[in-house]
Chain A
Amino acid sequence: MMILQTLRRSPQHAYALAKSIKQSSDDLLQVEEGSLYPALQRMLKAKLVSSEWQTSPNNQKIKVYKITAAGRKRLQSNISSFEKMLDAITRVMKKAES
C-alpha cells in the first residue's frame, strides 16, 4: 500500500522509491530495500503499476514505475479499509482506557 501511495504522488524508479518510503516513515520502518522488488513484480503482474525504461538526468537507463488507474482504485479501497480498521482499533483502545 505504501508503494502505491508513494507512486501516486509521482512515478519513480526503485531506488528513489526505497528512499521515499524510508524518509516518509522517518526511518521508523526498517525494511530491506531488496524486498521492494518482488512486491513491484507482484504489482506489475496484477496490473496495479506499469513500468518503462527511461533515461535519467545523469544519462543512465532507469526503470520507472507508474501507478495505473486500477492501482489508484485499489489504493483508494485499501486506504478506506485501513482507515476503518484504524478507527475500530482506536475506539477499542479508548474504551479500554475509560
Chain B
Amino acid sequence: MKLRDKFSDELQSEVDLHIAESARELMESGVPEREAWARARREFGNRTLVTEQSRAVWIWVWLERIWQDLVYAQRVLMKEPGFTAIAVLSLALGVGANCAMFSLADALLLRPLPVPHPGELFNVGSTRPTGTEPGFAMSYPDYRDFRDRNRSFAEVAAFQIENFRFANRAGEPVELRTSMVVSGNFFDTMQVDPVLGRVFQPAEDEVPGRDAVLILSHLFWETEYASDPGVVGRPAQINGINFTIVGVMDEAFTGPDTWVHPDFYVPMMMWPRLTQEGQDLLEQRGFRSLNVKGRLRPDTTEEQAKAEAKVLGSALAAEYPGTNENWGVEIRTEMEKRLDGSVMGPIVVMVMLMAGAVLLVACANVASLLTSRAPARAREISLRLAIGAGRGRLVRQLLTESAMLALLGAIAGLAVGYAGVQFLKQMKVVAEVPVALSFELDERALIFSLLIGVVSVFLFGLAPALRMVRKDAAGALGGESASGDRVSQPRVWMRNALVTSQVALSIVVLTVAAIMYLTLEKDLLEGPGFETEHLLLASFDPSLVNYGDEQMQQFYRDLPDRVLTIPGVRSVALASGVPGGYDLGTYLMVPEGFDFPDGEDGALMVSSRVNPSYFETLDVGIVQGREFTAADDADARAVAVVNQVAAERYWPGQDPIGKRLHYGGDTAPLVEIVGVVENMKFNFLVERSQPAVFLPFAQQPQSRADVLLKSSGDPGGLTAPLRELIRSLDPDLPTFNVRSFADTWETNAVSPSRLIIEMIAAMGAVGVLLSLTGLYGLMAYSVNARRREIGIRMAVGARQRNVVGIFLLQGAVLALAGTLLGLVLSIGTGRLMAVAFPTHNPPLMSYLPVAPAVFLITTFAALLPARRASRVDPVAALRDD
C-alpha cells in the first residue's frame, strides 16, 4: 500500500504543478488571478477522473477494489447476524448434503483405483454371447496367451481372491484370511511400490509351487504384526505351507478391487500347492475365474486395444475349439466394469440428484432471503448509482457478499458433510468376504464441496444482484411506492409456492420415516420368532483341511455331543445356515399335488439343513408333528419339516403331515413332511414371513456349517473353551467367525432397517430446516416491503400485538397450506405403503401427528420476522419514504 500512496502523492503533485503552471502563464499574459486559476482548471479537465483513470492503469487498483468489496461485504453481513446465520445454515445443508452424497458415490462407484494413472488400467475378460453368466473372468492359459501375444498393453496382470488359513507362526491359532493370488507382474502393472522389502519378481512367476513368498498389505501389517519393521524375511504358514514374507505394501494401495481388500498377496504359481483346484486353475483353459487388468501402452488407444483383443479372442477360439468356441476377449474400462449389471449406477445417480435438489432448494431459499432485503437496500444502491458507480461494480460488490456467504456456508457444510459421512460409515455390507465400504471425507470431497460453493454463489447471488441494480431501482430514492411487494406479483407467488411445497414434502418424508419406524417397533416387539440371546455362533469348513466326505460327516455327527461337554452349554444347534447369516439360501421347491398358476413352476422356499436340537436351541415351537431325531439319518426315509406359512400356503385346509414335496425341481427326490414349526424371520426383521423347509443335516450333509451354542450365561465365555475343544480334536481345523448370535442378528437383520429409517428421518429434518429458512426469508421480505404500511397502521392506533398478529397470520397461512398439502400427500403415501407392505400397517392416527408438529415448527419460524415487524418505528417508517 505504501507504493500506492507514493504513486498517489506523486500524481497529485504532478497535477497540481500542471494546473499551477497553466494558471501562471495565463496570469503572465494578463488574465486576472482568479480567472486564470479557473480557466486553468477548466482546461485541465476533471481532475478526480483523471487521477482515477491514471491509477486504474496500474494493477493494484483491481486488488484495492476487491479488498474494498470484501471489507464492505463483511460489514454488511455482520450488520444482520440473524439473516446471515440463516443463509449460512441453508447453504451448509445444501453443501453438506452434496458432500455426504459425493462420498457415498465415491465409495460406491467413482473413486479411482489407488494406483498411479488409473485411467491407463483396463479390464480384460472372456465373454460369450450366448452365456447366462455375466462374468468377465479368464482362465490362466488364456491369460498367459493374451499377455504374451498382445501389443496394446505394456503389462497385463491376473489376480483372484482366495481365502486361506493363515498362521503367524507354526502352532499359532489358524485364522481364515482373505488374500489375493497374483501373477508375477502384478505390482509392476499396478505401478505401486512397497514400503518395506520388495515386490514379486518375474522369476517367481515361472515354476509352479517353487517360490513360497508373500507380501503383506499395509493394514494387515499394522493389525497382525503391529507395524514391526523387521517383518521382512519372517516365515508364515498359509494352508499349512511355509511361506516367507518378502515385503509390505504401501498404505494407499488397498488392492485392485474396490470392494475387497486382501490381507496379503501370494504368487499365482503357488496355487497348486495351496488348494486342490489350484493345479486345474493354472492348467485348464476352460476354468475361467481370473480377473485380468492391463496397463495400456502410451501410444495405443482404447479402440486399438479393443480391436486387437477381438482378434486375439478369435485366434484362441480357432486354436482351442474345445474350450474356447464362441468365446471372445473384450476390453472394458474400470467404470464399465463397475456399472455392469449392478444397481450402483442408478443408485448413485439417484442419490446425487437428491443432493442436487437439496442444494437447489437451499439456494432458492437464500436467493429469496437476499431479495427480501432488496427494499431495505434500495436507497443505498440508488444513491451509489446516482453518484456514478458503475452497474457492473455494484453487481460485483453484491456478488462478493454472496461469495462470502457461500464460503461460510461451504465451511459449515463441510461439518455437516462430516457428520453425514460418519453416519454412512455405520453401513455394513453382508457378505462372506470382508467388504470395505470406505466412506471418506478426502480431498476429492473437499474440492467437490468448494465447487458446489462456487456454483451456488451464482445460483443464488446473481439474480438478486442483477435485480437490485435494475434501472428502476433508482426510483426508490424518490420514494417507495405504497404498493410495496405488489410490484412483482408472479415472483411472490412463486416464492409462496416454493415454501408451501417444501413444507409439504418435508411432511411426506417425515411421515414415511414415522411409518417405517412404527413398523419396526411392532416387529421388534413381536420378535423374529426365535431366541437370539445367550447364543454363540461359530462356523466350520473341514473341506479347507481336505477332509474327505466320510470324515466330514463323522465330524459333524460327533460335533454336537462333543460341544455339549463344555460346561455351561445347554444345547447345540448345527445348521447349513442360520438366520441373519450369510448362508441361508432360497430355492425352488415343488410341493406334491399343488396346482401352480401359469408361469410359476415351483415355490421359492428358504431352506436349511439342521440337526435335531436346532429348533430347541432357537426356541422355535413345534406346531404339528415332530422335529428331527437321531433316527433321521442318511439311511432312513427322507423327511422334512416345514413352517406354518409353507403349510398354509401349499396344503391349505389339509394336514401337511405325511404330504411330500420335491426338494428341488419337480424331478428332484421327494421328502416327506413330518412336522410343522412356527414361522421365523430369516434375513431381515421386517421381512414378510416366507415359506421354509428344513431337512435333517445328516441326510444332506455339506462341508460348510454354522454351530450355535446355547449358554446358560454369557455366550462370550464359551469362545475359548470351544476353540480349545476344536483344537484338541484337530489342531489344523480353523474355527472361524466366532461371534455372538444376537450381535449378528442385530447387525445383519435389524440395523439396515434402522439405518434406512434414520436416513429418511434425516432427510425429512433437512427438509423441515430448509422450509424454515424459506419461510423466514419470505416473511422477512414481506415485513421489509410493507414497512410503510406498518408505520401507517401503528400511527392510526394498531398495537404491537396486532402487527405481530398480522404477520404471524400470513406465515401461518402459508404453513397451513403446506401442511394441508403435506397431510393429503402423506395419507396417500401411507395407503401406498400399506399396499406394498400389507402386514405392516400402523393406524392412521399414529403417524398423523407429524403434520401438525411440522406446522407448529414452521409457524414458529414466522414469529421472528413478525416480532421485528412490530418493532418498526412508525415515525421512521413513514418519514423514510
Q: Is A72 an interface residue (CB 8 A)?
A: no
Known: A14-B14, A34-B49. A45 touches B54 (CB 8 A): no
Most chain B Cβ neighbours within 10 Å, of A13, A15, A35, A62:
A15
* B45 located at the interface, meaning its Cβ lies under 8 Å from any Cβ of chain A in the complex: yes
Q: B729 near A: Cβ within 8 Å?
A: no
Most chain B CB within 10 A, of A18, A34, A38, A44, is at A34
Q: A16-45, CB under 8 A of B: which get 1 and which 0?
A: 001000000000000011110110111011
Stretch of B16-24, B223-231, B325-333 contacting A (4+ beta carbons < 8 Å): B16-24
Task: Tell whether, in the assembled complex, residue A38 and residue B50 are in contact, meaning their CB atoms are under 8 Å apart.
Answer: yes
Check B481 for interface membership: any CB of A closer than 8 A. no
Question: Of the candidates A35, A41, A60, which one forms a contact with B58 in the assembled complex, judged by CB atoms under 8 Å apart?
Answer: A41
Bound: A63/B556 CA distance, A: 105
Are B18 and A15 interface neighbours, CB within 8 A? yes
| Bound CA–CA A35/B50 (angstroms) | 6
> A45's contact among B11, B14, B21, B58, by CB below 8 Å, is which?
B58
For A34, give its contact among B13, B21, B47, B56 (CB under 8 Å).
B47
Interface residues of chain A: helix, strand, loop or mixed (majority): helix
- B14: nearest residue on chain A (CB-CB)? A63
Q: A61: CB under 8 A from chain B?
A: yes
CA distance A34 to B44 in the complex (A): 5
Q: In the complex, are the beta carbons of A37 and B17 less than 8 A apart?
A: no
* Chain A window 51-85, contacts with chain B (Cβ cutoff 8 Å), 1 for yes, 0 for no: 00000000011110000000000000000000000
The CA-CA distance from A14 to B13 in the complex, in Å, is 12
A14 contacts B18, C-beta separation under 8 Å: yes
Q: Across chains A and B, which 5 residue pairs bring their CB atoms closest together, nearest first?
A: A34-B45, A32-B45, A34-B50, A38-B53, A41-B57
Contacting residues, chain A, for B22 (C-beta < 8 A): 15, 33
Indicate if B319 sits at the interface (CB-CB under 8 A).
no
In Å, the complex CA distance between A13 and B47 comes to: 18
CA distance A41 to B52 in the complex (A): 11
User: Roughly how many angstroms separate A40 CA and B43 CA in the complex, as a whole number?
Assistant: 18
Return the contact of B11 from the options A13, A37, A60, A61 (Cβ within 8 A). A37
Residues of chain A with a CB closer than 8 A to B15's CB: 34, 37
- Find chain B residues with CB under 8 A from A13 CB: 14, 17
17 CB contacts below 8 A, A to B, read A13-B14, A14-B14, A15-B21, A32-B45, A33-B22, A33-B43, A33-B44, A34-B15, A34-B45, A34-B46, A37-B50, A37-B53, A38-B50, A38-B57, A41-B55, A42-B57, A45-B57
Closest partner residue, chain B, to A62 (CB atom): B17
Interface size on B, residues (CB 8 A): 23
Inter-chain contacts of B49 with A (CB < 8 A) = 34
Q: Which of A37, A40, A44 contacts B51 (CB 8 A)?
A: A37
Residue picked from B22, B53, B56, most chain A C-beta under 10 Å: B53
Which residues from A are CB-within-8-Å of B47? 34
Mark interface residues in B23-46 (1 if CB within 8 Å of A CB, else 0): 000000000000000000001111
What is the CB-to-nearest-CB distance from A4 to chain B, in angstroms, rounded to a whole number? 17
Using A32-B44, A33-B45, A41-B57 as known contacts, say yes or no to A61 and B13 having CB atoms under 8 A apart: yes
Nearest residue in A to B56 (C-beta to C-beta)?
A: A38
Q: In the complex where A37-B11, A63-B10 touch, is A15 in contact with B17 (Cβ < 8 A)?
A: yes
CB distance from B300 to the nearest CB of A (A): 49
Q: B246 to nearest A CB, angstroms? A: 64
Report yes or no: B57 in contact with A18, Cβ–Cβ below 8 A. Answer: no
Asked if B14 contacts A32 (CB within 8 A), the reply is no
Which chain A residues border B18 with CB–CB below 8 Å? 14-15, 18, 33
Sample of 9 further A-B pairs with CB below 8 A, known A18-B18, A37-B11: A13-B17, A33-B18, A33-B44, A34-B15, A34-B50, A41-B58, A42-B57, A60-B17, A63-B10
**Chain B, Cβ-Cβ closest to A38:** B53
Contacting pair A37 B21 (CB below 8 A): no
B residues at A contact (CB < 8 Å) = 10-11, 13-15, 17-18, 21-22, 43-47, 49-51, 53-58
Cβ–Cβ < 8 Å partners of A38 in chain B: 50, 53-54, 56-57
B722 to chain A, nearest CB (A): 85
* Distance of B6 from chain A, by nearest CB (Å): 12
- When chains A and B are docked, how far (Å) is the Cα of A18 from the Cα of B22? 10
The residues of B that contact A62 with a CB separation of less than 8 Å are 14, 17
A6 to chain B, nearest CB (A): 16
- Which residue on chain A has the smallest CB distance to residue B42? A32
B58 to chain A, nearest CB (A): 7
Residues of A within 8 A of B44 (CB): 32-34
A32-B49 Cα distance, complex, nearest whole Å: 12
A36 to B18 Cα, complex, angstroms: 11
Which among B11, B44, B46 has the greatest number of chain A C-beta atoms within 10 A?
Answer: B44
**Docked CA distance A15–B47 (Å):** 14
Task: Return A25 CB to nearest CB of chain B, in Å.
Answer: 15
Q: Note all chain A residues with C-beta closer than 8 A to B58.
A: 41, 45
Report the separation of the CA atoms of residues A45 and B61 in the bound assembly, to the nearest whole angstrom: 14
Q: Residue among A13, A35, A41, A44 with the most chain B CB within 10 A?
A: A41
Q: Which of B11, B15, B49, B54 has the most CB of A within 10 A?
A: B54
B714 to chain A, nearest CB (A): 83
* Cα(A42)–Cα(B50), bound, Å: 13
CA distance A15 to B55 in the complex (A): 19
From B13, B43, B54, contact of A37 by CB (8 A): B54
A32 and B13 CA atoms in complex are apart in Å by: 18
CA distance A61 to B13 in the complex (A): 9
B55 to chain A, nearest CB (A): 8
- Which residue from chain B places its CB closest to the CB of A33 in the assembled complex? B44
By beta carbon, the residue of chain B nearest A16 is B21
From B17, B43, B55, give the contact of A32 (CB < 8 A): B43
The smallest C-beta distance from B518 to any residue of chain A, in angstroms, reads 74
- Chain B residues within 8 Å of A40, by CB: 54
With a 10 A CB-CB cut-off, give which of A13, A38, A63 has the most chain B CB atoms.
Answer: A38
CB-defined contacts of B46 to chain A, threshold 8 Å = 32, 34
Chain A residue numbers with a CB within 8 Å of B43 are 32-33
Closest to A61 in B: B13
A63, B9: Cα distance in complex, Å: 13
Closest-by-CB residue of A relative to B51 is A37
Q: How distant is the Cα of A35 from the Cα of B53 in the complex, in angstroms?
A: 9
How far is the CB of B856 from the nearest CB of chain A, in Å?
64
Residue of A whose beta carbon sits closest to that of B59: A45
Q: Which residues of A contact B14 (CB under 8 A)?
A: 13-14, 37, 62-63
Separation in Å of the A88 CB from the closest CB of chain B? 32
Closest to B53 in A: A38
CA distance A60 to B14 in the complex (A): 11
**Is the pair A41, B21 in contact by a Cβ cutoff of 8 Å?**
no
A14, chain B: closest CB distance, angstroms: 5
Among B15, B21, B47, chain A packs the most CB atoms within 10 A around the CB of: B21
* B49: nearest chain-A partner, CB-CB: A34
* Complexed CA–CA distance, A97 and B164 (Å): 102
User: Would you give the shortest CB distance from B227 to chain A, in whole angstroms?
Assistant: 60
Q: How far is the CB of B16 from chain A (nearest CB, A)?
A: 10
What is the CA–CA distance of A34 and B22 in the complex, to the nearest angstrom? 12
Within the complex, what minimum Cβ distance (angstroms) separates A59 from chain B?
12
User: Nearest chain B CB to A47's CB is how many angstroms away?
Assistant: 13
Q: From residue B379, how far is it (CB to closest CB) to chain A in Å?
A: 33
| Residues of A contacting B13 in the complex (Cβ-Cβ under 8 angstroms) | 61
Residues of B within 8 A of A32 (CB): 43-46
> Within 8 Å CB of B54, what residues of A?
37-38, 40-41
> CA A37 – CA B53 in complex, angstroms?
8
A24 to chain B, nearest CB (A): 17
CB distance from A22 to the nearest CB of B (A): 9
Nearest CB to that of B50 among chain A residues? A34
**Cα distance A14–B45 when bound, in Å?**
14
State in angstroms the CA–CA spacing of A40 and B50 once bound together.
11
How far is A42 from B51 in the complex, measured between Cα atoms in Å? Answer: 13
Q: Which residues of A contact B57 (CB under 8 A)?
A: 38, 41-42, 44-45
A75, B388: Cα distance in complex, Å: 36
CA gap between A15 and B49 in the complex, in Å: 18
In the complex, the chain B residue whose C-beta lies closest to that of A22 is: B43
**Which residue of A is nearest B7, CB measured?**
A41
Bound-state CA distance A32–B22 (Å) is 13
Complex formed: what's the CA distance from A67 to B55 in Å?
A: 21
